[in-house]
Amino acid sequence: MKLNELKGVSDKRLQALNQYGIHSPEDLINFFPRRLIDRSRVSPIAVLSGFGDAVTVIGNVISIEVVGYRNKKRLEVTIEDDSGRLKGVWFKGVSYFQKFFKKGQLVAFYGTVKQYGRYLTIAHPDTEKLSDSSDIHKVANIVPVYPGSTFFKKTYITSPLIQGWIKQILQSTRIKEFLPSYLLQKYHLPDRDSAYKMIHTPTDTKNFYAALYRFKFEELFLFQLSMAKLKQRIKLRHTGIIFEQLGEYTHRFFNEVIPFTLTEGQKQSLSAIKKDVRSGKQMNRLIQGDVGAGKTVVAIGAMLMALDNGYQASFMAPTEILAEQHYRTLNEYLKPLNINVRLLTGNQKTTLRRDILTDIQSGGCQIVVGTHAIIQKEVQFAKLGLAVIDEQHRFGVLQRANLLEKGDYPHILVMSATPIPRSLAMTLYGDLDVSLIKGLPAGRKPIKTAVRGEKSREKVYRFLQEILADGGQAYIVYPLVEESEALDLKDATMGYEHIQKRFPGYSVGLLHGRMKSEDKDEVMRAFINNDLQILVSTTVIEVGVDVPNASVMIIEHAERFGLSQLHQLRGRIGRGPRQSFCILMTDVKQSKEAKIRLKTMAESNDGFKIAEVDLKLRGPGDFLGTKQSGLPDFKVADILQDQELLIKAKDEATTLIKKDPDLEQPDQEALRRVFVPYFKEKARFYNIT
């Protein structure tokens, strides 16, 4: 069967379906309704409350009236049943519906009831003419609502039409089951054929959700099967390198180098790591902690444990800028210990690169800081013992697999300021232990955050003036949007000139992504040394910069930033004894989302709370960087809401793959047929063969 063989599929409609990504009957039956309208309960008019219930009512038309003035005409159609009267009101399509109704006719209205004065009304009800009251099943049913209504409008493809086509398909085909029957029984899942019928032609809401549950399970199960398979290939090993004892590096770092005592969270994380690296099992640990919680110190401690035992360590960051900043930080900390730290990125000159690679291969280089460049084939370690990954959500399974191959299954430490739920972490990383660094180092004053408009700019500047007069320093940040880098650069440059004029007694610096890294370093160093009091910059300062005396951050066009990004930026201040202030400047009309972002920032300093809001605003795909992380965009399952099911699917998949790695048992025949192509696609995606 082909799509255009279905009744009512014209060329135009076929084209629209194709444009929407529906090319075959199979695509069409997998086009699921987004929600249900339950019209199965018909209410007598008298019992309606007028408090916004969606209902079906049936009655005879007793009047059809056009009321109001020329441009504000509306149609009011009053119907009556045994118990009372109700008005349907149309503001659009007045003349069409005026002709549609006839006095005395029996009709059904479906919609949300509101009370206006004495009248119960439904604005723009869904309407159906009935021949007699036994005709009621025509309207009083459960109606699936398909997505894409705006898209399909021009070709008049409506939900009932789609439902009709799918009915035709489902009547002429029997859909084969592929889930093992023991799973259907265990989780009370409807079989595949019934599930398709239940989801497209639901007879009650319970059925619909049972079918949806089945499809979610199916989707998550296939995904987890592929993860189990991949893991088998990656062969997560259960034996690991042992770091016998801590030595001089570690001792000196904690006793001589760092000028502070560790927080409880840092101590706990470090002792968990210590235990892991001595256990004889390969460590896979995630350290979660808010911006400024002091994760870097923990990572350094862990790397020094490797160095103390004659191993190398690597530190991988998601961007070049971050890698450079970490490199700077690490060098600062580790200079007194005479440790050879090197930076490896994708943009280095060939001679320098060759030199670094040789240094890594010979073991002269003890710590490599870098970007994805670290996992390239040419990079060969003499003896990699520990790999640190910063900001883990941008790295996925593949990167970790590649890291494991860089050494003899080195320990892995993942650091994140983003609180991803544990089940998700497990899905992304397999078996991952989690340490949480709660709270911030002692003595930090919570940052005060305010949202200000253009009107208040002068006031903001006067405030800044006071802080500067008191010996403070400030960041002024401009957004950087990749597509219009030039424009933003202009913004920052103009801002820089403007600020120089406005604050003549102080030195102002400019920092942006297009500068050479030496120049960036120079500006940063000047700011750190307080040779510059104001640093105008694009978002290049996002993470890693540490200037405790800087206590003010003014963020321009704040509405353009993402929530997590704003929080990251703000994390640059509040690092010293001064009370810190973050001022979010915004003058344009904001979208609803932007308003929520700014309000959230003003109200909270808690990174986990902020991440939660961000996750809600953006959805898991965007938030976690689906593309980079290899996390699939599920069609029916919601990776956050369906966590419980995700775990069940994972357990079942793992058990099955252990028992029957290639699904060769005769009763897995159907599953194998579906899974093999699915997995091929996945493996290609992960670049694993």
CA proximity to 201, closest of 148, 146, 142: 142
Least CB distance to ligand ADP at residue 434 (A):
15
Least CB distance to ligand ADP at residue 442 (A):
7
Least CB distance to ligand ADP at residue 295 (A):
3
Least CB distance to ligand ADP at residue 543 (A):
7
**Pair of tokens at residue 110:** 């479906």
Q: Which residues contact 243 (CB under 8 A, 6 or more apart)?
A: 277, 278, 305, 306, 308, 309, 311, 385
Distance CA 575, CA 445 (A): 8
Least CB distance to ligand ADP at residue 302 (A):
13
Least CB distance to ligand ADP at residue 90 (A):
58
Does 576 interact with ligand ADP (rule: CB under 6 A)? no
Does 546 interact with ligand ADP (rule: CB under 6 A)? yes
Which residues on adjacent β-strands are paired with residue 244? none
Of 290 and 559, CB closest to ligand ADP:
290
H or E element at residue 519: helix 517-528
Of 75 and 303, CB closest to ligand ADP:
303
**Backbone φ and ψ of 336, nearest 5°:** -60, -20
Binding pattern for the stretch 280-309 against ligand ADP, x by CB under 6 A and - elsewhere: ---------x-xxxxxxx------------
Of 524 and 646, CB closest to ligand ADP:
524
Q: Which residues contact 482 (CB under 8 A, 6 or more apart)?
A: none
Distance CA 245, CA 4 (A): 72
Least CB distance to ligand ADP at residue 415 (A):
7
Least CB distance to ligand ADP at residue 266 (A):
6
Of 142 and 436, CB closest to ligand ADP:
436
Q: Are 602 and 609 in contact (CB under 8 A)?
A: no
Max CA distance (Å), the chain: 96
606-613 long-range contacts, CB within 8 A, separation 24+: 606/290, 607/290, 607/291, 607/417, 607/419, 607/567, 607/571, 608/290, 608/419, 610/563, 610/564, 610/567, 611/418, 611/419, 611/564, 611/567, 612/419, 613/563
Q: Are 174 and 196 in contact (CB under 8 A)?
A: no
Does 586 interact with ligand ADP (rule: CB under 6 A)? no
Least CB distance to ligand ADP at residue 330 (A):
11
Binding pattern for the stretch 193-222 against ligand ADP, x by CB under 6 A and - elsewhere: ------------------------------
Of 266 and 399, CB closest to ligand ADP:
266
Least CB distance to ligand ADP at residue 245 (A):
24
Of 296 and 586, CB closest to ligand ADP:
296
Distance CA 394, CA 371 (A): 11
CA–CA distances in Å: residue 675 to residues 179, 220, 376, 382, 660: 10, 12, 30, 39, 13
Interface with ligand ADP in residues 234-263 (CB under 6 A): 260, 262-263
| Exposed/middle/buried for residue 651 (C-beta within 10 Å: 0-12, 13-18, 19+) | exposed
Of 574 and 630, CB closest to ligand ADP:
574
H or E element at residue 685: helix 669-686
Least CB distance to ligand ADP at residue 297 (A):
5
Distance CA 43, CA 36 (A): 18
- DSSP-derived 3-state class of residue 631: coil
Handedness of CA 306, 307, 312, 316 (dihedral sign): positive
Of 122 and 573, CB closest to ligand ADP:
573
Does 121 interact with ligand ADP (rule: CB under 6 A)? no
Which residues on adjacent β-strands are paired with residue 511? 537
Distance CA 73, CA 86 (A): 19
Total number of residues binding ligand ADP (CB under 6 A)? 15
H helices of 201-312, where?
205-234, 248-252, 264-278, 295-308
Least CB distance to ligand ADP at residue 310 (A):
26
Does 575 interact with ligand ADP (rule: CB under 6 A)? yes
Of 191 and 546, CB closest to ligand ADP:
546
Distance CA 671, CA 660 (A): 12
Of 126 and 546, CB closest to ligand ADP:
546
Concatenating the DSSP letter of every residue in 639-671 gives TTTTHHHHHHHHHHHHHHHHH-TT--SGGGHHH
Of 22 and 262, CB closest to ligand ADP:
262
Axis-axis angle for helices 669-686, 397-405 (nearest 10): 70
Does 325 interact with ligand ADP (rule: CB under 6 A)? no
Binding pattern for the stretch 611-650 against ligand ADP, x by CB under 6 A and - elsewhere: ----------------------------------------
Interface with ligand ADP in residues 259-278 (CB under 6 A): 260, 262-263, 266
Does 574 interact with ligand ADP (rule: CB under 6 A)? no
Of 61 and 553, CB closest to ligand ADP:
553
Does 322 interact with ligand ADP (rule: CB under 6 A)? no
CA proximity to 123, closest of 86, 150, 154, 149: 86
Binding pattern for the stretch 165-184 against ligand ADP, x by CB under 6 A and - elsewhere: --------------------
Of 472 and 544, CB closest to ligand ADP:
544
Least CB distance to ligand ADP at residue 322 (A):
11
Of 414 and 671, CB closest to ligand ADP:
414
Least CB distance to ligand ADP at residue 610 (A):
14
Q: Are 293 and 299 in contact (CB under 8 A)?
A: no
Does 371 interact with ligand ADP (rule: CB under 6 A)? no
Does 441 interact with ligand ADP (rule: CB under 6 A)? yes
Which residues are at the interface with ligand ADP (CB under 6 A)?
260, 262-263, 266, 289, 291-297, 441, 546, 575
